[in-house]
Amino acid sequence: MAYGLGKDTPQVAKTDKLKEIVAKKKEKIALAKQLLPEEELKTKILDLAPTRPFIEAINKPRTITLIAEIKKQSPSQGLICESFNPKEIAAIYKDAGAQAISILTEEDFFAGSLSHMSEVKAGVDLPVLRKDFILEPYQVYESRFFGADAILLIADLLSKGNLSELIRLADSLGLDCLVESHTEKELKKVLSLKVSQEKKIIPFALGLNSRDLHTLEVDLKITEKLFPLIPKDRTVVVESGVKNYQDVLFLRILGVNAVLVGEAILKTQDKKAAIQDLMGW
């Protein structure tokens, strides 16, 4: 099966930021396979400790939880965090009460690294989400090896068939999935997925990203528009654009399970206080 932009993904313009990121990511995957071949990677993950339950950690009754993000920079904001020590930041997040940690591992546009994930996993006992542009199975094995407990899958990048295969593979390795949508078309594609393994339906969390990855523009009304389409029993995470307690309160009343927040925390000097102010803790 061919991986990359799914056949039901619309063609994008040459100036499209997402297309630019994906082209670079494909180069990085090819290089990674040369340095650590897939068969060798599969062998290395056989004896790893069990993963930590990500969906369970962020799904708490009658409350909204926090997935606190670690990233040094982004295409939309440039440098976000000057004093960047992933392990120290993770310890602050844990102390402030975050339920999970998201780590940007994309190298070229976010200055991320898989090593950041390994450092954080060794330093705190929270579940770790790998946030990257995952296009093929190699990256799922790679995620498990470097310490992820869950992975982000972007509906805009993958066909239904590819999404199903990656979710099934992730589940076989003990990884949870957060499957992200930005448009109604993408969400309907994700909601139509019924992924099973050994006659068991595999649960996965739904991400609603307020940011258009093609233009990098943020529209907070995306959640308001898409959330009513989602069945009440699904775990929903809102990503991008959550800046203050008023935003979190609105999402909590709406019924969202968790928020994924990075920039609003990382830009502050006192990250613990920023989290407590943001979440109302």
For the chain, percent of residues with pLDDT exceeding 70: 95
| pLDDT number for residue 1 | 46
218 φ, ψ (degrees, to nearest 5):
-110, 135
Q: What is the pLDDT of residues 169-186, one digit of tens each?
A: 999 999 999 999 999 999
Over residues 39-52, the mean pLDDT reads: 96
Of the listed ranges 6-20, 102-116, 244-258, the least confidently predicted one is 6-20
pLDDT at 12 over 50: no
Q: What is the pLDDT of residues 262-280, one digit of tens each?
A: 999 999 999 999 999 999 9
pLDDT at 14 over 80: no
Over residues 112-127, the mean pLDDT reads: 97
Averaged confidence pLDDT in the chain:
93
Residue 149 is given by DSSP the state S
CB contact at 8 A, 188 and 179: no
**Burial profile 206-232: b = 16 or more Cβ within 10 angstroms, e = fewer:** bbbbbbbbbeeeeeeebbeebbeebee
Report, as residue numbers or ranges, the catalytic residues: 69, 71, 131, 180, 209, 239-240
| CATH of region 17-44+52-279 | 3.20.20.70
Q: What is the pLDDT of residues 211-242, one digit of tens each?
A: 999 998 988 889 999 999 999 999 999 999 89
d(CA 120, CA 125): 9
Domain ranges of the chain: 17-44+52-279
pLDDT at 7 over 60: no
Place of tokens 């670690």: 70
